[in-house]
Structure 1
Amino acid sequence: MSDPGEDQISGARVLESLLGALARWPDLGSRTRLDIEQWNNLTAHEVKAYQDKSIAAIRAVDDWRAVTDQIRELGRLRYEPAVPALIELWERCLVQPVTVAAAHALFGIGTAEARDALRHGIHDHDHLGRFMAVKVMFTDDGTAWDNLGHLFSGERLATTAGLAAASEALSFLTPRSFSASGPEWHAEGLRDLVSQDHRWLDLCVQLRDHEDLGWVAREVLTHADPAVTGPALDAARALRAAQTATPAGRELRPGELVARYLDGDHRGVWRDLGAVAHLDDVWRAEAEQVAALTMDRVRQNAANLTAALIARGWPVGLEQALPGPDADIEDRLRELEQITGSAVPPALAAFWRIVGTIDLVPRGTWDGPFPPDVPEHLAVADPLEVIDLDTAWSEVEDWVDESADLHPELAGPLAVVIAADYLHKANISGGGPYSVWLPHAGADPVVREEEHGLAFTDYLRRAFAAKGFLRLDDQEEWVAHGMTGDEVAELTGWLDGVEYQHLDF
């Protein structure tokens, strides 16, 4: 065991050395602490400027590694007089490895002042701030629920910042890693928290279908004791089955929506369909007819637009762009209905039946040059893609395999991939693919992971209105990352030359 007196002497020496090193640093400015809401409201130029300040700061100092080592040592020694200096570094320093080291050192020292400073990061846009705040709350005096239960109030979950904090808290009840000996938690006491405190169990069961928190709530339940979670999930499943389906809304006269659609009220009809969370037989029959009329117009738009793009030199072929529906689409749709226990939403089913695939991604340029006079930056402007169900089927099979051993209430939605994300379309490593979640009891599912959060029909509308490119509104971000005004003008001019007959749908 170390001598407390020697630790104090060592701590004083390390702190003196640290402060001396920091005094020799040039003026780096200071970091502006932003919460998630503030971060989301920044322009692309402001985001880049914020990031560039941090990059410039770490390049301006040569000894940041030695400084982080000294900070870690202060944490190991639990040298309390260092807390004010460490708080200043945690809250203001632009050199990111230093702020990380300061956060962990403050937690290690653990005074009330240090823990308060970390707790204030619960709404930080930066993940580390939220992580450290939750870590402090889970180790505060009292029960975990008393310390963190307020994060799950309805008022807080109605905000982006509140959702992020709640997700961070739930993630502490899932394994942080897996080893040969099994899952490992952030702290051993968290392993059985759901089993020991029914309030956490009830919360996760309640949140299992939540739009944003459902996935992490299901992860918590998946790794908790099945002897505890099983009966609770059985009861929740029985309650779901006993509840009547959400009423479709007003009474619908057969043929009413079809007539309005044929009269040109395309968007109004789809607005009415989108307002119905659960289609009854009458509404579904009407929705299927409207969807067929809609996707016939989508098919005509796709043919017209593809021909116009190819005529302007866009590097796709007609066979790639519009190969037509799968020969076995009806079999696939029936199988998908059996797997999910619900009919495929009419908008999506009609697209696969009538259009099949749209693929405007310039894959032929991935290993070669872009055509002359065609703006290459359009490759990252999210060219329209909707893949066929056959191509997406491997993901369906994976979901079936992965959910086979899970309680039915923990399987979660089946994410059917419909397109790569915009970066992968440009042959750049990117994020998760765009998908729709099934089962979906309405007419028109939301396209997930795509930044605009649109229903599938609106996703298609946006793409066709923008001549096949979903991210043309990101030009400010392109300029912030080096695209010149002349290049933007070239891109805009090229698109102005793409003329095609567009049918509203």
Structure 2
Amino acid sequence: MVENTSTDDTAGAQVLESLLEALAAWPDLGVRARVSIEQWSGLTADEARAYQDVGISAVRSVDGGRAVSDQVRALGRMRYEPSVSTLIGLWEQCPVHPVAVAAAHALFEIGTAGARDTLRKGIHDHEHLGQFMALKVMFTDEGTAWDNVSHLFADECLTAAPGQIAAIQALAFLSPQSFSQSGPEWHSDDLRDLVSRDRRWLDLCVGLRDHEVLGGQAREVLKYADPAVTGPALDAAATVRTTQSRPARQQWRAGDLVARYANGDHQGVWRELGALGHLDGPQRAEAEQVAALTMERVRQNAHSLATALIAHGWPVTLEQALPGPAPDVEDRLRHLEQITGSPAPPALAAYWRIVGTIDLVPRDTWDVPFPSGVPEQLAVADPLEILDLTTAWFSVEEWQDESADLRPEIAGPLELTVAADYLHKANISGGAPYSVWLPHAGADPLVREEEHVLSFTDYLRRAFASKGFLRLDRQDEWVAHGLTRDHLAELTDWLAGVENESKDF
């Protein structure tokens, strides 16, 4: 050892030596290499579970994991550069998750070029921490934040999910990370006023405010930026929007779509209606007639399906499944139009007027066993539920409360809940509810947060085609989580016994 080695270097060497001794004493845990979003999406349910099980098994197999994490963090605080190669190995392959997390933060604190390059590569990691650490490096690299991060918003980067996720996470750095009694708190003071200091970020967020995927996060940035800066930019953007010309109106003779629908061209008519981003008066009137014909058939299908399921043992009642339209539906629709500035999309309005509610969720079984012979796994197969407007009105009230003090350009769409997600339907804590965004100037809005990415009418078609269960295509997940092939066969046989034939609509 060199005689003039500093005290810090000596302490760092001792901690690193102790860390290596501790790691050498661990059993062979294998490795858990980091995977990208794209790689993760390509895994089967079995492969994804096996990947997760490696980490769970590793944490359970080692002694002294907390002490090792403490040593890793200590190396970071000391900024002991000779430990970087060891820390990179732990970050990239260690299956003991707390140790890998500590290694990432230690690499950032040490901050050598190699450490930062390693973290920067995590921008498309499947796990959030990899994305977060990559962006933390980018926002603190030499040069301006725009020069270091703006490439994530290039058109070619936003064409697929990995790029969209990276861009969303980057915008999240420009809005509060948490809130305390003293108000919102950012990742750093430098990022708090970045939108005000660099017009390029302001223009980016204003331009993305209506983006299908990034819009919500862009509006969140604008919400907490200085209104003296954002106000003029949003005013100018609103003016541009009002002066933009609409696409040329698709021509058809009045009554053609209704006639075609009545003659059986159900899906063809809805494809044409769905292609219209904005219905003018005559188009809306005809779309409303088509929607009324459609939802009459949906009502008949719902009654037929619910009756068949109940006859075969599905634990709901017909009164629960199909209580009918809410008595105040017309008042609600008028009020909704006043609030959003636009009539409800014809498909939704007709559904609420004619069907009202479909509810096949077996809530009465949440605290009691399933009926004998009825496959309990179907509880997580996403049984069909569409709320009536009165029941969903809490979404309107929440949106009004949240947007009361916001400019319309920042408030964003009203996310109207139409159903719980499939896990909440099974009384399991889950994700965001399925929703539609209003106002919607077309005929048939998208059902959001639901994995099949379908319009409202297509969502109903899928539900009836699968006898009321929208996730029957996820049976590989059930097998990966313990459902046996025999149980799966019983489920298939039970569904085959549900005698029902739905009308096309």
Give aligned pairs, total: 502
Amino-acid identity (%) = 71
* Kept in 2: contact 1:288–1:350 (CA 8 A): yes
> Partners in 2 of 1:179 and 1:6 — Cα distance?
39
* Kept in 1: contact 2:33–2:94 (CA 8 A): no
Cα deviations by residue, 1:216-255 (Å, 9 ceiling, x for unpaired): 100100111000001111111111111123334x311111
2:197 aligns to what?
A: 196
> Partners in 2 of 1:413 and 1:247 — Cα distance?
25
Cα deviations by residue, 1:413-452 (Å, 9 ceiling, x for unpaired): 1011010111111111111111100011111101111111
> Is 1:75 aligned to residue 76 of structure 2?
yes
2:218 aligns to what?
A: 217
> Is 1:168 aligned to residue 169 of structure 2?
yes
Change (3 A) 1:263 1:4: farther
1:99-498 matches, within 5 Å, as 99-248=100-249, 250-498=250-498
Aligned AA (1:256): D
* Kept in 2: contact 1:415–1:437 (CA 8 A): yes
* Kept in 2: contact 1:205–1:233 (CA 8 A): yes
Change (3 A) 1:4 1:222: farther
- 3-state SS of 2:390 partner: helix
C-alpha displacement at 1:317, in angstroms? 0.6
C-alpha displacement at 1:4, in angstroms? 8.8
> Partners in 2 of 1:96 and 1:33 — Cα distance?
11
Aligned AA (2:189): E
Aligned AA (2:302): A
> Partners in 1 of 2:72 and 2:367 — Cα distance?
47
Cα deviations by residue, 1:127-166 (Å, 9 ceiling, x for unpaired): 1111001000100000000011111000001121111111
* Kept in 1: contact 2:277–2:442 (CA 8 A): yes
- 3-state SS of 1:391 partner: coil
2:87 aligns to what?
A: 86
C-alpha displacement at 1:25, in angstroms? 1.3
> Partners in 2 of 1:117 and 1:4 — Cα distance?
28
Aligned AA (1:335): H
C-alpha displacement at 1:259, in angstroms? 1.2
Aligned AA (1:241): T
- 3-state SS of 1:389 partner: coil
- 3-state SS of 2:104 partner: helix
1:30 aligns to what?
A: 31
> Partners in 2 of 1:197 and 1:486 — Cα distance?
61
Change (3 A) 1:441 1:81: same
Of stretches 295-304 and 234-243 in structure 1, the one that deviates more from structure 2 is: 234-243
> Partners in 2 of 1:272 and 1:192 — Cα distance?
46
Change (3 A) 1:375 1:82: same
> Partners in 1 of 2:395 and 2:432 — Cα distance?
13
> Partners in 2 of 1:247 and 1:361 — Cα distance?
43
Change (3 A) 1:80 1:319: same
Cα deviations by residue, 1:140-193 (Å, 9 ceiling, x for unpaired): 000000011111000001121111111111100011111122211111100110
Aligned AA (1:393): W
1:42 aligns to what?
A: 43
Change (3 A) 1:4 1:274: farther
* Kept in 2: contact 1:325–1:357 (CA 8 A): yes
* Kept in 2: contact 1:174–1:185 (CA 8 A): yes
C-alpha displacement at 1:286, in angstroms? 1.5
Gaps of 5+ in 1: none
> Partners in 1 of 2:271 and 2:5 — Cα distance?
70
* Kept in 2: contact 1:358–1:385 (CA 8 A): yes
Query: TM-score, normalized by length of structure 1?
Result: 0.98
Change (3 A) 1:87 1:297: same
* Kept in 1: contact 2:346–2:443 (CA 8 A): yes
> Partners in 1 of 2:165 and 2:379 — Cα distance?
32
> Partners in 1 of 2:247 and 2:206 — Cα distance?
20
C-alpha displacement at 1:351, in angstroms? 0.3
Aligned AA (2:31): S
* Kept in 2: contact 1:252–1:283 (CA 8 A): no
> Partners in 2 of 1:309 and 1:317 — Cα distance?
10
Aligned AA (1:404): A
Change (3 A) 1:413 1:4: farther
Runs of 4+ displaced beyond 3 Å:
none
Cα deviations by residue, 1:312-350 (Å, 9 ceiling, x for unpaired): 011111111101001111111111111111111110010
> Partners in 2 of 1:100 and 1:427 — Cα distance?
32
Gaps of 5+ in 2: none
> Partners in 1 of 2:220 and 2:439 — Cα distance?
19
C-alpha displacement at 1:282, in angstroms? 2.2
Aligned AA (2:180): S
1:12-31 matches, within 5 Å, as 12-31=13-32
Aligned AA (2:203): D
* Kept in 2: contact 1:321–1:359 (CA 8 A): yes
> Is 1:9 aligned to residue 14 of structure 2?
no
